Each structure stands twice: as structure tokens, then as C-alpha cells.
């Protein structure tokens, strides 16, 4: 049986899955080749070395989980609907479970740091703009964006580390759906409250 021709995206996805399981150290060319039933030659056809794979994988994560999502939300004019869609998507079913906490845990790694910096900056800027669209002045909008992003990071970390203790953070189920709706309501209410009081 002929082997399937692997693409750089196949290798990058496998690298992200490995990272979610065991961090940056788990991204091994030999291990990934075994998982993909491929040769090292296939890897070197696409990538100069492991660092090039790490960079490509992280840039794919950036594109798929930040750039594309923000672009998809561009057609939604109502800021409350955008906030709801953003958190519903971001905290919904993960393509690769536990990936984002694994990336954040390696924030100082030379391959991770620049991509994570760009992603964090882009997400905070987007949230700030969203809260500005909800009526907040720039400084309160920025503070609310930071609080909302911290809530997001905490939510996915709880999902990774304590799902059995905190079933509310699961990706699916009635308890999780109710908890996510509550979070979104509170994040939207915070913006409305600050507008009214500020």
C-alpha cells in the first residue's frame, strides 16, 4: 500500500498535537515520523530542521486560532454578538485539546515567544476594540479586555487540568453550556456597567 504524500500542514498538525501532549520537548522528528508512518526524508523534504517545524506549526496555530477567527467575526456588526461569537468559538470544542495551555507554558522558548507575543497582542487589541465598540473609553476598554482574556486563559487551563473537578469548563454538555453563557453574560455586563458608571 502506497504511503500518503504528507504536506507541511500534516507535519505541523502532528507537531501541535505532540506539543499539547508533552510540551515543546515532545516535538521530535523521529516520534512524529513514526506517528505519521513517514520517513525522516519526508520531514526534511519540507523542513530544514526541528526549529523550522516548530515555527511553522506555531504560525499555523496563530493563523487558524487568531487571524482566521478575527476575520470571520468581521461581518458581525453588533459588538455584543461579536463578543458572544468570539467566546463561544474560542471556548468551544478544541481542535487539539490542551494545546493553548501547553503553548503558554513554554512562553520563554525561542520558537514560542515571538508567536505567542503576536497572538497575545492581537487578541488583546481585538478585545479592546470590541469593548470600545460596546461604549467603553479606551482605558476601561483595555482593562476589560485584559480581564476577559485572563478569564479565557483560566477557563482553558481549568479544562486541561481540572475538568473532573470543574465540569463547567468542558467543551460540551448542558452544565458547560450554561456556564459559558454565564461567563459571556458577565463579560458583556462588565462593559455595560462600566459604560453606565464611567
The pTM score is: 0.89
Q: What value does the mean pLDDT of the chain take?
A: 91
Residue 196 vs residue 153, higher pLDDT: 153
Q: What is the pLDDT of residue 40?
A: 86
| Cβ within 8 Å of residue 126, ≥6 positions away | 70
C-alpha cell of 114?
515571538
pLDDT one-digit tens code per residue, 126-166: 999 999 999 999 999 999 999 999 999 999 999 999 989 99
- The confidence band for 1, taking pLDDT boundaries of 50, 70 and 90, is very low
Amino acid at each position: 500500500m502506497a504511503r500518503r504524500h504528507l504536506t507541511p500542514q500534516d507535519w505541523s498538525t502532528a507537531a501541535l498535537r505532540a506539543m499539547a501532549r508533552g510540551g515543546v520537548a515532545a516535538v521530535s522528528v523521529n516520534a512524529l515520523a513514526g506517528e505519521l508512518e513517514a520517513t525522516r526524508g519526508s520531514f526534511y523534504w519540507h523542513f530544514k530542521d526541528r526549529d523550522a517545524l516548530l515555527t511553522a506549526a506555531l504560525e499555523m496555530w496563530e493563523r487558524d486560532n487568531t487571524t482566521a477567527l478575527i476575520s470571520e467575526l468581521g461581518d458581525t456588526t453588533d459588538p455584543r454578538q461579536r463578543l458572544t461569537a468570539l467566546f463561544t468559538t474560542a471556548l468551544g470544542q478544541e481542535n487539539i485539546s490542551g494545546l493553548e495551555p501547553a503553548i503558554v507554558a513554554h512562553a520563554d522558548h525561542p520558537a514560542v515567544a515571538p508567536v505567542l507575543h503576536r497572538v497575545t497582542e492581537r487578541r488583546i487589541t481585538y478585545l479592546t476594540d470590541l469593548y470600545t465598540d460596546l461604549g467603553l473609553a479606551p482605558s476601561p476598554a483595555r482593562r476589560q479586555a485584559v480581564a476577559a482574556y485572563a478569564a479565557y486563559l483560566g477557563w482553558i487551563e481549568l479544562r486541561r487540568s481540572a475538568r473532573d473537578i470543574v465540569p463547567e469548563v468542558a467543551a460540551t454538555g448542558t452544565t458547560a453550556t450554561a456556564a459559558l453563557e454565564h461567563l459571556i453574560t458577565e463579560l458583556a455586563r462588565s462593559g455595560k456597567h462600566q459604560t453606565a458608571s464611567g
